[in-house]
Amino acid sequence: MPSEKEKMLAGEPYDPSDPELVAARKRANELTRRYNQSDPADDAARQSLLQDLFGTVGQEPHVELPFRCDYGENVHVGDGFYANFDCVVLDVCRVEIGDDCLLGPGVHVYTATHPLDPDERRGGAEYGKPVTLGDNVWVGGQAVVNPGVTVGDDAVIAAGAVVTDDVPAGVVVQGNPATVVREIDADGH
C-alpha cells in the first residue's frame, strides 16, 4: 500500500495530516524561515540553504526574500533561476523549472488543489498536479501558475496573468484566464 507521500507525489488524493508529511512541511518551514532571515550579503549561507530546501538546484540561483513553499524538496530549478520578492510555490507535486527562468515579484506557482466535491473537501483529502516551466521562461509579477500547467521554452507570462492551461513555447500570454496574445519572433520581439 502506498504511503501518503507516495500518493501525494503521484497526484492521488492523500491525507495532509500524515505525520511524515507534517514533518516534511515543518522542515521546509524551518529552512524557509532561516532563508528569509538570512543576511542577503551572505551568498554562501543562502546557497547552502537553497541546496537543503530544494530537490535540485542548478548553478547560481537567486531567490529574493521572502520566499515560501510547502515542502521545498519537490522544487527543482535549473541554472540561472531567479525569483523576485514574495514568491510562493505550493509543491505537493513536482515543480520543474528550467534554466534561466525568471519569476517576478509575488508570483505564485500552485501544484496543490482540492476535490471539487464538498463532501470530499470536508473530509480533508487533497491532491496535486505537477507544474513545469521550460527554459528561458519569464513569469511577470503577481502571475499565478495553476496545478498541472506546462509552460514551453521561451514563453512570457504577463504580470497578473492567471495561467490555467498549458502555454506553448515562444509566446506571450496575459489575462485571466491567460490567453496567447502574440508569438515571440526569432529576434526575441
* CATH number (domain holding residue 46): 2.160.10.10
Is 109 domain-assigned? yes
Is 171 domain-assigned? yes
Is 17 domain-assigned? yes
* Cα distances (Å, whole numbers) of residue 122 to 10, 20, 22, 147, 151: 22, 22, 19, 20, 32
Is 189 domain-assigned? no
76 catalytic? Reply is: no
Contact 90, 112 (CB under 8 A): yes
| Chain segment 82-97, per-residue pLDDT in tens | 999 999 999 999 999 9
Q: Range of 164's domain?
A: 4-183
| Chain segment 120-163, per-residue pLDDT in tens | 999 999 999 999 999 999 999 999 999 999 999 999 999 999 99
Is 107 domain-assigned? yes
Counted domains in the chain: 1
Is 118 domain-assigned? yes
Is 32 domain-assigned? yes
pLDDT above 70 as % of the chain: 100
Out of 62, 108, 114, 189, the active site residue is 114
Is 188 domain-assigned? no
Provide the whole-model pTM. 0.95
